[in-house]
Every structure is written in C-alpha cells, then in structure tokens.
C-alpha cells in the first residue's frame, strides 16, 4: 500500500506537506515538517482508496 | 517530512519511484515506460527556484526524492516598493506532482516552486510531449488526466483543511 498523506498543522500558518509513504501515520507519532517537530493528533481518511493508494489526512500539533 | 523509523529506504530506481507516483496509477508497465521515455531526471539544491509564478508552463514535474515548497505572491512587502510578499502554501515530497495545471489549461505558472532540500531529484516531462502522447493514445490520456484530477482534488482537500485548522487553538 502507498499512503498519500496530507500533513496539516493546527493553530499555525504552517504550509503542511503532502508525501507518499510506505507505512501509515499513527496518532502520537512524531513528525518533522520543514525542520520543525510536531506530533500527530488525528488521522482521517481523506478519500476512499484507489488500488494501492490510500488517502489520509494527519492533523499535527507543535511539541 | 521525516517520520522516524517509518521513513522508507531510498534504494529504489527512479523508474520504481515513478511507478509509485499517483500520476502513473492504473497504467501498464509498458505505458509507464512510454511516459518515462519522454522525460529526464534533474537534481536541485535547497533554495533553487524550479518554476516561477507567471512563467509559461512548459513542463510537468514529479518528485522522486527530496522536498519542494510551493509559494504564491500576496501583494507587495510593506515599505519595499516592487518586492512581492510570498506565502508558502504547501510542501511536496516523494511521489508528488506539480506543474500539472499548465498541462491542463496552458496558463502561466500559478505559483513559484522552490527546492527545499539539497539533492532533491525530480522527473521532468515536457508538456507538449506528454500532451501529444495523451492525444495519440486515449487509453493513456484518460488515465493520466483522471490521475491528475484526483491529485488536484487531494491538494484542494489539503488546502481546505489547512485553512480551516490554521486558526484553531492547539
């Protein structure tokens, strides 16, 4: 499965990121976006899967 | 983006990486090779400008590895006549496509895209060559256009969530 993930930061004007990754993100995971550290606080399905692609949204907060 | 131990290894070839881009979803290996034959790899360093807002749209780009940042201008910088204030709107990593709007509407670049990491590798396909392939082979053309539409939809959903969450309290 290829996980296409939209990372968005809550409470900031951070642009967020869109990346393909091999493993799904999980709530509580640490992530580095643009050199800054964040923690994932929510994961939702952004759209139904198509073939090998899953479409996820991860909401992040600063740590 | 780094996600600790979940980051994948980078031992794949560019061809393998491109096959894992949504742009190529549902194409046969032979059809993917036809597109790969049209383009070439280019490597950029941090701060390099890849495309500039307002320029003609001649190419479509796929991020094989590394990261780029998309920014749009928002008026002029106060007290600095003529200098545009830029606003980063998203960063795009492995597997992502940019420059696709110009493929569809032939309009000028809607944003500036700047390399965000040294050694970022992009696969670059000339617009006219890809359009020619899609028009000459409607099976490929339909799939590529559907994949581009799905990608644009994903980016819109990302942008909507970003704008909605930016003002929320943590």
Hey, is the C-beta of A35 within 8 angstroms of any chain B C-beta? no
Q: Which pLDDT tens digit goes with each residue over A1-54? A: 999 999 999 988 889 999 999 999 999 999 999 889 999 999 999 999 999 999
B90·A16 Cβ contact <8 A: yes
- The residues of chain B scoring below 70 in pLDDT are 1-11, 75-83, 166-170
Q: Is B150 on the interface with A (CB under 8 A)?
A: yes
Q: Is the pTM of this model over 0.90?
A: no
**Interchain pair B1, A19: CB under 8 A:** yes
DSSP state letters, chain B: -B-GGGPPP--S-HHHHHHTSGGGTT--HHHHHHHHTT-EEEEE-TT-EEE-TTS---EEEEEEES-EEEEEEEEE-TTSTTPEEEEEEEEE-TT-EESHHHHHH-PPPSSEEEE-STTEEEEEEEHHHHHHHHHH-HHHHHHHHHHHHHHHHHHHHHHHHHHHHHTS--
> Closest Cα partner for B113 from B84, B94, B85, B90?
B90
Which pLDDT score is estimated for A41? 97
Q: Which of A10, A17, A62 sits opposite B90 (nearest CB)?
A: A17
Residues of A in contact with B112 (CB under 8 A): none
The confidence score (pLDDT) of residue B80 equals 65
Distance CA B147, CA B150 (A): 5
CA dist B104 → A1, B14, B64, B116, B167 (Å): 28, 25, 22, 26, 33
């Amino acid at each position: 499965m290829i996980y296409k993930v939209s990372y968005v930061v809550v409470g900031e004007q951070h642009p967020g990121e869109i990346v393909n990754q091999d493993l799904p993100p999980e709530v509580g995971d640490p992530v580095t976006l643009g050199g800054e550290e964040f923690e994932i606080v929510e994961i939702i399905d952004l759209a139904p899967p198509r073939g090998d692609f899953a479409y996820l949204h991860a909401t992040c907060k600063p740590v | 983006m780094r996600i600790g131990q979940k980051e994948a290894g980078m031992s794949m070839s560019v061809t393998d990486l491109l096959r894992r881009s949504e742009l190529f979803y549902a194409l046969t290996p032979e059809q993917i090779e036809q597109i790969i034959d049209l383009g070439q790899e280019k490597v950029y360093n941090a701060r390099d400008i890849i495309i500039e807002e307002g320029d003609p749209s001649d190419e479509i780009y796929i991020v094989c590895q590394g990261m780029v940042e998309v920014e749009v201008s928002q008026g002029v910088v106060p007290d600095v006549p003529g200098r545009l204030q830029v606003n980063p709107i998203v960063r795009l990593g492995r597997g992502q496509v940019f420059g696709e709007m110009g493929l569809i509407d032939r309009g000028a670049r809607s944003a500036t895209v700047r390399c965000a990491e040294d050694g970022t590798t992009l696969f670059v396909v000339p617009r006219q060559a890809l359009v020619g392939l899609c028009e000459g082979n409607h099976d490929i053309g339909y799939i590529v256009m559907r994949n581009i539409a799905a990608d644009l939809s994903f980016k819109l959903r990302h942008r909507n969530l970003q704008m909605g969450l930016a003002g929320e309290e943590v």
